[in-house]
Amino acid sequence: MHQLYFTPGPSALYPTVNLHLKDAINKGYLSASHRSATFKDIYKETENNLRTLLSLPDNFSILFTSSANEVWERLIQNTVENKTLHLVNGAFSKRFADIATDYKKEAVVYSAKEGEIVNVGEIKEDNEVELVAITHNETSTGVSQPLEDIQKLRNKFPDALITVDAVSSLPIVDLPYDLIDSAYFSIQKCFGLPAGLGVWIVNNRCIEKAEKLENKGIITGSYHRLLSMYKKGKDYQNIETPNVLGIYLLGKVAGDMLTKGIGQIRNETIYKAGVLYYGLQTHPLLNPFVGNERIRSHTVCVFNTKGESERIINELKKNNMVIGSGYGSFKSNHIRIANFPATGKEQIEMLADKINEIQ
Amino acid sequence: MHQLYFTPGPSALYPTVNLHLKDAINKGYLSASHRSATFKDIYKETENNLRTLLSLPDNFSILFTSSANEVWERLIQNTVENKTLHLVNGAFSKRFADIATDYKKEAVVYSAKEGEIVNVGEIKEDNEVELVAITHNETSTGVSQPLEDIQKLRNKFPDALITVDAVSSLPIVDLPYDLIDSAYFSIQKCFGLPAGLGVWIVNNRCIEKAEKLENKGIITGSYHRLLSMYKKGKDYQNIETPNVLGIYLLGKVAGDMLTKGIGQIRNETIYKAGVLYYGLQTHPLLNPFVGNERIRSHTVCVFNTKGESERIINELKKNNMVIGSGYGSFKSNHIRIANFPATGKEQIEMLADKINEIQ
């Protein structure tokens, strides 16, 4: 029997993936050279569809990495000489700060208790900070930093680059691109694609910073130096032989999302999040881990389980529904449910019904 | 009409790929968590099948990167403090030396004219060299460094790490693992898989060297530090969400190759290379770019075309056969034909016949 996946990444495949995969094979796209016109056309379509879907301004470029982990590393190597600042509200935002430390940068960390967010009002102005790292949607805890905080951070750090981790929220979130310099996501979350590709969005200020560092003789990496990626990207190519299938599928699914309408997809996400948060509010075992509704994620819904995660997960498995356990130390005390576009309203309603049967 | 691909990577898909892809989707492997038992079992099967296929000794680990480019970078970051030595016989071996320079290492380069190999006898002993980089099969020119040169290099550099680029020759080449410390390949070459995964083989001496560098306070990278990858790999996992599909397909195709028998596959490769090199020897336009038969690649067959590459490529396209153009400056003067296991004897014979019709 076919399983329904509500796991927060890798996650359920977008319904059209199967069809696009067959097409990619039949048309020989997986055997074509990554220097051919065939590949450049694939890259171009993916870039154009993403640009439209995200309403990305012209001063931003779209680059492909192997993962969001790689984006963290390339950001540190290419945009930071000495000092970064991180808003840490969970395991993934913390890992970014750790990567800055791995590269011997001074990482100023403002931490929130898990399930809460950093109070931006408490962050001190510091004109030595070169990169401010915000996690819009922390996949480990289901907490979401409100977009208005980006404006406040921009006011405090007028000259720093601001980068937004939207790994599990793009294209659902409508980011204020005029206030930020970089953002990134992974394709196995909201796009419902096989894992193995990160998408890194950078503006001209990031490029200029990388140039400045290189002019100073600072090591910015090698094959994936930002300036190399940027230059090759302008010619619709990658430095290395990339995950061609991932780039192709991303372009096609972005196209499908455009056809459906991003407004419609965003509205459905809010509706489905409501089905989970409100539909489960009388459940005797569950309550949302993020107490404050204003900062609760719409795309990764996390619940306390009074230690009953395993039982709930196993009961759902009997009904061919797979949800995520808690992250790290929350393994047995949380469940995590992905609310990505691949999952329809009816499936989320069915899941909520089944969970309500588990007492 | 279906096209036949003889391109040197991305290349023709291995005949069973389609079937394994369907299976991966139907069984939900692309939606399962990369921390789940399901994924660990996939990783384990791939590792075991590769280990058997390559006859890899126990002191070697198998790690997954995003590309061979990444392996170059991680080798430089994790195994070199000051000095490397590179045998350069084409564009790809040169790029590895460039990456050493990007990371401000001293790269000693011995270059051969394209189509020839470095005479190992001329390489001077140097006990400051920490890493010796050999390219077994240079995909850009179709030249192959004989395996006996590895023994000579080991004698000259008893303490250095030796790494072998076998991007387009593993698992066809039977490497002398007792003489080397690292090797790597990409799955879109001899394994006939969609691009987007590099495989890095390292022994305990590489691990010890990375430990030594870290103990000295040297930056070895971040999420893909060799020691992190090694530790996570022992638990059949990756640091980041990896290209799960690539890892799965690699394991399955390695299994198919085991069923067929690696000896049989290697014999067929030699036979097919003969069909190309000898079958085309009276062709008025073509002659093998690598004059010396002893160093001619079996897996990437490159021919001079007297400037007629474009016409030959286009004529073959009319017959739904796709071959590679020359690499870089050889674009219009070479053709490159992949002779990988995905391509059957009959297909290579048919290709040779068609090429002989073009006069």
Per-residue model confidence as pLDDT tens digits over A120-140 = 999 999 999 999 999 999 999
* pLDDT reading at B141 higher than 80: yes
For the stretch A320-346, pLDDT in tens is: 999 999 999 999 999 999 999 999 999
CA nearest B330: which of B351, B311, B303?
Answer: B303
For the stretch B41-94, pLDDT in tens is: 999 999 999 999 999 999 999 999 999 999 999 999 999 999 999 999 999 999
C-alpha–C-alpha distance, residues B299 and B91, integer Å = 17
Q: Testing the interface with A: which of B14, B16, B241 to mutate, by most A Cβ within 10 A?
A: B241
Contact A240 B67 (CB under 8 A): yes
Mean pLDDT over residues A178-203, rounded? Answer: 98
Calculate the CA dihedral of residues B73, B76, B79, B82 and round it to 10 degrees: -170
Contact B196 A194 (CB under 8 A): no
Phi/psi at B193 (nearest 5 deg)?
Answer: -115, 160
Mean pLDDT over residues B106-126, rounded? Answer: 97
Phi/psi at A144 (nearest 5 deg)?
Answer: -130, 125
**pLDDT for the residue numbered B1:** 58
A243 in B contact zone (CB under 8 Å) = yes
**pLDDT for the residue numbered A1:** 58
For the stretch A128-182, pLDDT in tens is: 999 999 999 999 999 999 999 999 999 999 999 999 999 999 999 999 999 999 9
Between positions 251 and 270 of A, the ones with CB within 8 A of B are none
Ranges of CATH 3.90.1150.10 domains, chain A: 4-12+261-357
Whether domain A17-258 has CATH 1.10.357.10: no
For the stretch B185-196, pLDDT in tens is: 999 999 999 999
Backbone torsion region of residue A306, taken as left when φ is above 0, otherwise alpha when ψ lies between -120 and 50, otherwise beta? left
Beta-strand (E) ranges in chain A? 4-6, 60-65, 83-88, 106-111, 131-135, 137-138, 143-144, 161-165, 182-186, 198-203, 287-288, 300-304, 321-325, 334-338
Between positions 123 and 182 of A, the ones with CB within 8 A of B are none
* pLDDT reading at A32 higher than 90: no
Contact B98 A222 (CB under 8 A): yes
Which of B7, B30, B102 has its CB closest to that of A13? B30
Which of A33, A222, A243 has its CB closest to that of B7? A33
**pLDDT for the residue numbered B211:** 98
How many other C-beta atoms lie within 10 A of the C-beta of residue B328? 12
**pLDDT for the residue numbered B52:** 98
B33 in A contact zone (CB under 8 Å) = yes
**pLDDT for the residue numbered A9:** 83
Which of A3, A28, A195 has its CB closest to that of B28? A3
Confidence of residue A2 (pLDDT cuts 50, 70, 90): confident
B246 in A contact zone (CB under 8 Å) = yes
Give the chain B residue nearest A18 (alpha carbons): B25
**pLDDT for the residue numbered B143:** 96
B66 min Cα distance to partner chain A (Å): 6
**pLDDT for the residue numbered B2:** 81
For the stretch A76-94, pLDDT in tens is: 999 999 999 999 999 999 9
Ranges of CATH 3.40.640.10 domains, chain A: 17-258
C-alpha–C-alpha distance, residues A77 and A135, integer Å = 19
Residues 6 or more apart in contact with residue B48 via CB below 8 angstroms: none
Report residue B94 as tokens.
């040169």
**pLDDT for the residue numbered B83:** 98
Give the chain A residue nearest B73 (alpha carbons): A222
C-alpha–C-alpha distance, residues B112 and B86, integer Å = 11
Contact B104 A219 (CB under 8 A): yes
For residue A3, list chain B residues with Cβ-Cβ distance below 8 A.
28, 31
Between positions 53 and 92 of B, the ones with CB within 8 A of A are 65-70, 72-73, 76
**pLDDT for the residue numbered A214:** 98
**ipTM beyond 0.85?**
yes
Mean pLDDT over residues B327-344, rounded? Answer: 96
A240 min Cα distance to partner chain B (Å): 6
* Paired sense of beta strands B106-111 and B83-88, if any: parallel
For the stretch A199-208, pLDDT in tens is: 999 999 999 9
Assign a CATH topology to domain B4-12+261-357.
Aspartate Aminotransferase, domain 1 (3.90.1150)
Residues 6 or more apart in contact with residue A16 via CB below 8 angstroms: A252, A253, A256
Mean pLDDT over residues B34-41, rounded? Answer: 93
Which of B10, B21, B98 has its CB closest to that of A241? B10
